[in-house]
Amino acid sequence: MEKLTNKEEEIMHVLWKLEKAFVKDVVAELPKPKPHYNTVSTVIRKMEDKGFVKHESFGNTHRYAPNISKEDYRKKYFSNAINNYFENSYKNVVSFFAKEEKISIEELKEIIKIIENKKE
């Protein structure tokens, strides 16, 4: 399964939120300026071709639903990012966020507690 584009991810977040939706429902949830109905429909069909979305037919219309959970997608692509950008090291990930001041000492202490509790 290939990675979603930014626009596909935006639409996928809507489908994860709604669980099942017609194209018009997806368009209604997207931020302004709203893309055209046909554009969203085309993107969703491409996502279906990639295996991320499935549909139910109701006459000439389709109701779409995620074919992959948000958690499964996050695991797969976060693991790929860690492998590609951080030499497959979670230590490098945490160090990066600490250097960028995106994580506080208190948050690091919480992470350590979580890890210690999992070991017990």
Q: What is the DSSP letter of 102?
A: -
pTM of the predicted model as reported, rounded to 2 decimal places: 0.76
**Alpha carbon distances (Å) from 19 to 12, 35, 67, 70, 73:** 10, 20, 10, 11, 15
Over residues 55-109, the pLDDT tens digits come to 999 999 999 999 999 999 988 888 888 888 888 888 888 888 888 888 888 888 8
Cα gap 30→104, rounded to integer Å = 33
What is 6-66's CATH number, 3.90.1150.10, 3.40.190.10, 1.20.58.100, 1.10.10.10? 1.10.10.10
Give me the residue label for tokens 């809507």.
14
